[in-house]
Amino acid sequence: TYEYGCQLVNVALSLRQSCKLPLDGNTALSHELWRAWKRLYTVGQEQMTRLRVSAVFHRSVQQHCKQLGELRAGVVAVTAEEDSGQSRSKLRKFLSARERLLLEVGRMVRLGRLLKTRLRE
């Protein structure tokens, strides 16, 4: 970890001071350790952000799949009914819900493509 590296650099500093050696190398090493840790931390944060975005996308896709399944089951149930007047009304509602859901699914497909290209960068 970064703390362990800092402890080692401090031990090296103490040794250099006790041996009356120049401290320039130790200072440079300390700065390099800090820069390396900062780069590693930044990359880790970027990966966590990508993971979170992917998880949210995945949950949204699962929700849309569930809604499509429920919509399909509802249409199957309505078509099995005898009363055609009421069935037509219910089917119109399902059609309206399907159109709204398909718009959302289309947006999710475009978002998924964008996410896929961004994750490859």
Per-residue DSSP letters for 14-73? HHHHHTT--SHHHHHHHHHHHHHHHHHHHHHHHHHHHHHHHHHHHHHHHHHHHHHHHHHH
Measure the CA–CA gap between 10 and 14, rounded to whole angstroms: 6
Band of the pLDDT at 23, cuts 50, 70, 90?
A: confident
Within 13 Å and on the Cβ side, how many CA atoms surround 22?
A: 4
Pairwise CA distance, residues 1 & 63, whole Å: 40
Task: Count how many domains the chain has.
Answer: 1
- Is the pLDDT at 1 greater than 90? The verdict is no
Look up the domain containing 80 and give its range: 2-120
pTM given for the model: 0.67
Q: What are 37-53's pLDDT values in tens digits?
A: 999 999 999 999 999 99
